[in-house]
């Protein structure tokens, strides 16, 4: 019997791949791809996803692997001079950066996605049990890897920007933007009565980037091994909840 549903956009592919590679490991977790511009066939339109959620038992946990990619829009390709943002009182400006951008400005830019999230609110409202917002994977450190994958593509652009024209942003900037976005995702989840699922600790290197053995063979996504770690996180939540219920 399904105890958890994972619904997501492109990052959910890692979870679906993990399920396919390890059949039977997560029998109570189902994974579904939400329809968007890049996925039509076999993906769930929002009305169908709402109906699916409303049809679940009251104790079904729902995990949304959506949003969380705005840091790529702002910081995957360079858009001008190298910039930095201070993450806290102990953070020191990067000497390579030419400009220091106020954190509040970047939080406002990243936070725009949450103001335009009517579809997500509809999905969350249809969920029967607890709701979780799943973090996107940490960014990849290697600019060589990112550039090489960009150059493989037929269209060497990201969100309308040309890699040849702009070049790849510094990895340190990508990491800070991702950290800001995960903070905002956690805050937004809490404001809706949902919980936030951070990335698996073992999937990051010592500096917080995605460890190379969890890279997918593209610019921004993680692989099935990463997906397996996240599904294990979901499974641990189900087990913990089941024990709490059984002990009253």
Of 63, 86, 61, nearest to 241 by C-alpha is 61
At 114 the pLDDT is: 81
54 alpha-carbon distance from chain centroid: 24
At 152 the pLDDT is: 85
At 69 the pLDDT is: 87
At 122 the pLDDT is: 93
Whole-number Å distance between alpha carbons of 73 and 69: 7
Of 64, 89, 36, nearest to 230 by C-alpha is 64
- Give pLDDT < 70 ranges for the chain: 1-2, 116, 154, 156-161, 243-248
Sheet of 195-197: strand order equals 29-33, 4-8, 61-65, 131-134, 195-197
Report whether 234 contacts 6 (CB < 8 A): yes
At 151 the pLDDT is: 84
At 143 the pLDDT is: 93
At 154 the pLDDT is: 67
Query: At a CB cut-off of 8 Å and minimum separation 6, what does 2 contact?
Result: 28, 29, 30, 56, 60
At 96 the pLDDT is: 76
- 150-188 residue pLDDT tens: 888 767 666 666 777 778 888 999 999 999 999 999 999
* Domains of the chain, first to last: 4-69+114-141+172-246 (3.40.50.1110)
At 227 the pLDDT is: 98
Q: What is the DSSP letter of 137?
A: P
At 40 the pLDDT is: 74
Query: At a CB cut-off of 8 Å and minimum separation 6, what does 160 contact?
Result: none
- Mapping DSSP to helix (H, G, I), strand (E, B) and coil, where does residue 167 land? coil
At 79 the pLDDT is: 75
At 158 the pLDDT is: 63
At 247 the pLDDT is: 52
At 244 the pLDDT is: 67
Q: What is the CA radius of gyration of the chain?
A: 19
Report whether 83 contacts 26 (CB < 8 A): no
Q: Is the pTM of this model over 0.75?
A: yes
3-state helix, strand, coil in the chain (%, to 5): 45, 15, 40
């Amino acid at each position: 019997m399904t105890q958890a549903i994972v619904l997501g956009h492109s990052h959910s592919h890692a979870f679906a791949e993990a399920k396919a590679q390890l059949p039977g490991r997560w029998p109570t977790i189902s994974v579904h791809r939400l329809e968007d511009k890049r996925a039509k066939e076999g993906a769930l339109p929002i009305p169908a996803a709402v109906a699916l959620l409303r049809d679940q038992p009251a104790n079904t946990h729902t995990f949304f692997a959506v949003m969380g990619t705005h840091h790529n829009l702002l910081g995957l390709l360079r858009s001008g001079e190298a910039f930095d943002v201070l993450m806290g009182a102990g953070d020191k400006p990067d000497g390579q950066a030419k400009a220091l951008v106020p954190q509040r400005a970047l939080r406002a830019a990243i936070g725009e996605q949450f103001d335009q999230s009517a579809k997500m609110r509809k999905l969350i409202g249809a969920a029967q049990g607890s709701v979780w917002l799943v973090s996107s994977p940490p960014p990849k450190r290697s600019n060589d890897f990112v550039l090489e994958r960009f150059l493989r593509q037929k269209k060497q652009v990201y969100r309308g920007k040309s890699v040849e024209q702009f070049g790849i942003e510094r990895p340190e900037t990508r990491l800070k933007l991702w950290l800001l976005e995960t903070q905002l995702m956690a805050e937004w989840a809490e404001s809706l009565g949902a919980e936030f699922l951070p990335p698996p600790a073992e999937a990051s290197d010592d500096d917080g980037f995605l460890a190379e053995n969890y890279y997918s063979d593209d610019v921004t996504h993680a692989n099935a091994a990463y997906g397996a770690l996240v599904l294990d996180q979901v499974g641990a939540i189900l087990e913990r909840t089941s024990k709490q219920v059984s002990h009253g």
